[in-house]
Amino acid sequence: MNQDDLEEEHKNLPPTIEDKLNSMQTFVDQKEFVVIDNGTGFIKCGFSGEDLPRVSIPTVMGVKEIIIEPSQTNDQGGKKYSRIYGERAQDNSHEYDITYPIKRGVIEDFDTMKYCWHHLLSHKNMHNQKKCNLLITDSPLNHKDNKIKMAEYLFDKLKDHNIAIDSLNIMNSSVLSLFASGRTSGIVVESGQGITTAVPIFEGYALPHAIKSINLAGEDVTFNLLDSLMAQGIEVDNSNINHIRKIKEQMCSVALDYDRAINSSDPLREESCLYELPDDKGIIKVDHKIRFNATELLFNPEIIGCDIPSIPQIAYDSIYKCDQDLQITLFNNIILTGGTSLLPGFKDRFEQDLYELAAHTARTDIKIDIDLPRRHSAWVGGSMIASLSTFDDMTIKATDYEENPELHDDAVLKKLVF
Ligand SMILES: Nc1ncnc2c1ncn2[C@@H]1O[C@H](COP(=O)(O)OP(=O)(O)OP(=O)(O)O)[C@@H](O)[C@H]1O
């Protein structure tokens, strides 16, 4: 779903709880929070109490240096930087230096991340936030030092760009996805752009010792598809990556039985296998072997020579790392989420392979919930929790943060227990 689709969907949504409260003119003194979900591929931003984020853009920035010639008004001359974001940056990679600040779920380039946050908060759909309360997500794999650094950039560095964060919470994205499903215990299996995680959660707390992850997700499927197309002599390269991603999202699916699927005839009619590149760059034929092969690595990483477990395997391993008493609850409450889980056939294959793995050990049925807005589940959970009247008590206040610099790390870690 791109930014235009998101705006259209917003217009058609029924009134949110917040709209209703506003129209009833109730005078509830409740803070509004901005909710940001930081993803490797996409960053999502909107207001608490709403059903969907208002802005969702690829997590990428392009920078270009501009030399200013000396002139009458500025006889020194000098240089400044032009920065662009999201798809615009990806489409102008020939002119701009491109940086992806999040790698495999973890923020690695905080300076670029700061500019991305600033861009979102100043976005027209966000009414240019100069001062706000913020709930921001964090990967379940992040080290606590990353949270401390996030707080530092959000409280201190954004101020240099005229944005003041009044209160802040940083929450585990998997806990928020589970919250969006209406549960407080279960296992969240999330496959996004850069990473797939299996995070068991008990009564709202992630169980760190049993979290499993693999560096295999949507971007690997996209690059695998690109390699297969190039191997067939089709003229595409990295500069077409947005289109390769779109081919994946529109045409690829997961086979229940891979060998059978690629050795059978193509289930789609010829015209449904064609993708037209823009600017008369040609039409690509994407046959069923390429389409099924692109996604198979998620369930069988060996096909690309990777000696790592599959997605069903990490879910199984994660459940078996937990206390025996909890395992039944986890098997009964599996939340499948993240953009990559939207691939047709993903849920059926996941369920089939997990049944096979657990056939002799699970003492219960396996129940998988896919009824969430899967690309936005962490954001939606954040929107819900930040609209609770008790949420403000769970935040770090800028005043406390600034007054006690020596307590920064403690203050962050004490509040951010999820
Ligand atoms: N309909 C779809 N079919 C297949 N893949 C999809 C679909 N929609 C989105 N995706 C893929 O999902 C990925 C983005 O998902 P998501 O927004 O959950 O990830 P993220 O939060 O950015 O990344 P991560 O969780 O790894 O940090 C991209 O690879 C995108 O191509």
- Give me the tens of pLDDT residue by residue for the chain, a chain 418 residues long: 556 566 665 555 544 444 443 443 343 457 899 999 999 999 999 999 999 999 999 999 999 998 887 776 666 778 889 999 998 998 888 899 999 999 999 999 999 999 999 999 999 999 989 999 999 999 988 888 888 899 999 999 999 999 999 999 999 999 999 999 999 999 999 999 999 999 999 999 999 999 999 999 999 999 999 999 998 888 777 777 888 999 999 999 999 999 999 999 888 888 888 998 877 778 888 999 999 999 999 999 999 999 999 999 999 999 999 999 999 999 999 999 999 999 999 999 999 999 999 988 767 789 999 888 999 999 999 999 999 999 999 998 998 888 776 666 666 666 664 4
Is the CB–ligand 1 distance for residue 245 below 6 Å? Answer: yes
Ligand 1 midpoint to CA 41 (Å):
7
Residue with tokens 């197309």: 229
| Three-class DSSP category at 397 | strand
* Extended strands (E) in 290-418: 334-337, 368-369, 396-397
Q: How far is it, in rounded angstroms, from Cα 333 to Cα 63?
A: 44
Is the CB–ligand 1 distance for residue 373 below 6 Å? Answer: no
Q: How far is it, in rounded angstroms, from Cα 308 to Cα 95?
A: 37
| Spatial contact of 186 and 336, defined as CB atoms under 8 Å apart | no
Both tokens assigned to 161:
């760009």
Ligand 1 midpoint to CA 260 (Å):
27
Is the CB–ligand 1 distance for residue 376 below 6 Å? Answer: no
| Three-class DSSP category at 63 | strand
Atom of ligand 1 nearest to the CA of 374: 18
Atom of ligand 1 nearest to the CA of 218: 29
DSSP 133-201: EEEEEE-TT--HHHHHHHHHHHHTGGGGGT-EEEEEEEEEHHHHHHHHTT-SSEEEEEE-SS-EEEEEE
Task: Give the residue, out of 3, 42, 190, with the most ligand 1 atoms within 8 A of its beta carbon, to mutate for a pocket test.
Answer: 42
Amino acid identity of residue 356, one-letter, is: E
Is the CB–ligand 1 distance for residue 343 below 6 Å? Answer: yes
Is the CB–ligand 1 distance for residue 310 below 6 Å? Answer: no
Q: pTM to 2 decimals? A: 0.89
The superfamily CATH assigns to domain 218-297 is: ATPase, substrate binding domain, subdomain 4 (3.90.640.10)
Task: Give the residue, out of 102, 106, 172, 340, with the most ligand 1 atoms within 8 A of its beta carbon, to mutate for a pocket test.
Answer: 340
Is the CB–ligand 1 distance for residue 342 below 6 Å? Answer: yes
Is the CB–ligand 1 distance for residue 215 below 6 Å? Answer: no
Ligand 1 midpoint to CA 402 (Å):
37
- Prediction ipTM score: 0.99
* Fold (topology level) of 3-59+103-179+376-415: Nucleotidyltransferase; domain 5 (3.30.420)
Res 266: pLDDT: 85
Is the CB–ligand 1 distance for residue 52 below 6 Å? Answer: no
Res 21: pLDDT: 39
Q: Does domain 184-216+309-369 have CATH number 3.40.50.450?
A: no
Res 263: pLDDT: 94
DSSP 64: E
Domain boundaries, the chain: 3-59+103-179+376-415, 60-99, 184-216+309-369, 218-297
Is the CB–ligand 1 distance for residue 339 below 6 Å? Answer: yes
Is the CB–ligand 1 distance for residue 395 below 6 Å? Answer: no
Is the CB–ligand 1 distance for residue 192 below 6 Å? Answer: yes
Res 147: pLDDT: 87
What is the H or E stretch that residue 206 is in?
strand 205-206
Is the CB–ligand 1 distance for residue 42 below 6 Å? Answer: yes
Contacts of 61-66 with C-beta under 8 Å, sequence gap 24+, read 61/85, 61/89, 61/98, 61/99, 61/101, 61/112, 61/115, 61/116, 61/119, 62/88, 62/89, 62/92, 62/93, 62/95, 62/96, 62/97, 62/98, 62/99, 63/96, 63/97, 63/99, 64/95, 64/96, 64/97
Res 4: pLDDT: 58
Task: Give the residue, out of 100, 136, 375, with the most ligand 1 atoms within 8 A of its beta carbon, to mutate for a pocket test.
Answer: 375
Ligand 1 midpoint to CA 340 (Å):
5
Q: How far is it, in rounded angstroms, from Cα 282 to Cα 32?
A: 48
Q: Do domains 3-59+103-179+376-415 and 184-216+309-369 have the same CATH topology?
A: yes
| Spatial contact of 214 and 314, defined as CB atoms under 8 Å apart | yes
- Nearest CA, atom 20, ligand 1: 39
